[in-house]
Amino acid sequence: MPALKNLKHEAFAQNCALNMPSSQSYRDCVSGGKCSEKTAEVEGSKLAKSPKIALRIEELRAKVAEKADRKFDMSKDKWLERLARIAASAEEVADFSAATGALREIGRGAGHYAPEKVEHSGATEIVIRKL
């Protein structure tokens, strides 16, 4: 996908792709700092979820990740291996906080913290009462 035609939206997407919060990105790129924090939160969230912009953000994030992989030679496997070495080193010096942190990241990288899918069967009744 080429850059977005709206230059403000393209700048917004680039900032979001670099993990800037959507509210800050909205204030900096779209409103020029001329909106309230609440407006920036609401409008930034809406803009980040719009289909074209969300697609552009994901595309830019993929490019950033690819560049980082090439620059630091950090494929997922190498990243997990490095974390395993960090965990082992931390355990050797009894730094269990660092070891636990590294092991937690290994678990995330391996997908052990993926959300569980819960299926419900049957009907659900919603009752709204006016007070």
Report the b/e string of 48-79 with b at 16+ CB within 10 A. beeeebeebbeebeeeeeeeeeeeeeeeeeee
> Per-residue pLDDT tens for 118-130?
777 777 777 788 7
pLDDT digits (tens, 9 = 90+) for 66-116: 887 777 776 778 888 888 999 999 999 999 999 999 998 888 877 777 666
Provide Rg for the chain, Cα atoms. Answer: 21
Give CA–CA dist 29/10, Å, rounded: 9
Structure tokens at 63: 């490019």
Contact between residue 81 and residue 73 where contact means Cβ atoms under 8 Å apart: no
- pTM, two decimals, is 0.56
